[in-house]
Amino acid sequence: MAKASDIVWHEHTVGREQREQRLGHRAAVVWFTGLSGCGKSTIANELDRQLHQRGCGTMLLDGDNLRHGLCAPTESLSVEHGEEFATRFGLGFGEMDREENIRRIGSVASLMASAGLITLTAFVSPYRRDRDRVRRVVEQGGRAGDFFEVFVDTPLEVCEQRDPKGLYKKARAGEIKHFTGISDPYEAPENPELTLDGGSGQSPSELAAEVVALLLQRGVVR
Report the chain (222 residues): mean pLDDT per 10 consecutive residues.
74 87 95 96 97 97 91 93 95 91 96 96 96 96 91 96 92 91 94 96 97 97 92
222/220 Cα distance (integer angstroms): 7
CB 41 within 8 A of CB 122: yes
What is the pTM (predicted TM-score) of this model? Answer: 0.92
Neighbours of 162 (CB within 10 A): 16
Active site residues: 125
Determine the pLDDT at residue 108. 96
Rounded to a whole number of angstroms, the distance between the first and last alpha carbons of the chain is 49
Determine the pLDDT at residue 3. 75
Determine the pLDDT at residue 1. 64
What 8-state DSSP symbol labels residue 14? Answer: S
Determine the pLDDT at residue 8. 77
For residue 153, the one-letter residue type is D
Show the domains of the chain with their CATH numbers.
16-71+101-217 (3.40.50.300)
